[in-house]
Amino acid sequence: MSEQFFNELAIPEPDYHLGVGSGTHGAQTARMLESIEQVLLKDRPDWVIVFSDTNSTLAGALAAAKLHIPLAHVEAGLRSFNRAMPEEINRVVTDHLSSRLFCPTETARRQAKDEGITRGVEVVGDVMYDVLLQVQPKIDAHAQALLPNLMVKPHGYILVTVHRAANTDDPEAMRKIAHALNRLEMPVIFPVHPRTRSCLKNYGIAWKEHVRCIEPVGYLDMLALERAAYRILIRLRRSAERSISAECAMCDAA
């Protein structure tokens, strides 16, 4: 879906496309590390800037550190305090390798300080919020085009995503989530990540008619779905049946 993001956000095409697809965390990170290193050896940049907390973030950070190229991390200092999440490992390692940390909030700065990182740290604001402000005028038009195709009305459906490995890799967790969603009485729009779809197929999970599993959507379409939703379920824990009402109550769509 990267091409769609480039088009929607008017981002220039990258000079290099590494062509690294999905795989295990170790295999994917290794392939990216090898490819990024070759680019850095060729171009010899003054700095490497990495964003967020993905495997590509970690690969870029490791490649820069090994080649002694100064590293800057955008969205630094964020923590879930759950080391079982691959993203948390990526955040922590990248922050400790970075010479400059650009934190979105004061809380993020304090969290970096709690880990002994105090030099080169600045609070610069949330780049994702900046992007949201930039594209906000386009959201309503996307909703008007998208919702009729899904046969739902504004504030007449629940939006859910489930793609964390802690859920998708656990058949029992996914069955509990499915059971909870199947009990709802309102239409559920569920953009299904390809990895999640494969897991659902392997687990033999069946959905009731009101749960509409759709293909992944682009950034603007997702924002449109979020704005028009009655409730948003952003993360379902293992105790899905017990927590689903509380999750809905806490995640009212703005």
Token digits for 21? 């697809």
Quick check: 221 and 146 in contact, CB under 8 A?
yes
Query: Can you tell me which residue has the tokens 């594209």?
Result: 135
Half-sphere exposure of 28 (CA within 13 A, CB side): 12
Query: In 3D, which of 86, 67, 108, 79 has the Cα closest to residue 23?
Result: 86
Quick check: 240 and 229 in contact, CB under 8 A?
no
Backbone φ and ψ for 214, nearest 5 degrees, come out as -115, 170
Task: Collect contacts of 30-36 with beta carbons under 8 A, ≥24 apart.
Answer: 32/56, 32/59, 32/60, 33/59, 33/62, 33/63, 36/60, 36/63
Is there a catalytic annotation at residue 17?
no
Q: Is residue 39 left, alpha or beta, with left meaning phi > 0 and alpha meaning psi from -120 to 50? A: alpha
Of 163, 179, 193, 210, catalytic: 163
Strand partners, 122: 102
Question: In this structure, how many other beta carbons lie within 10 angstroms of the beta carbon of residue 20?
Answer: 19
Where in the sequence numbering do the catalytic residues fall?
Answer: 163
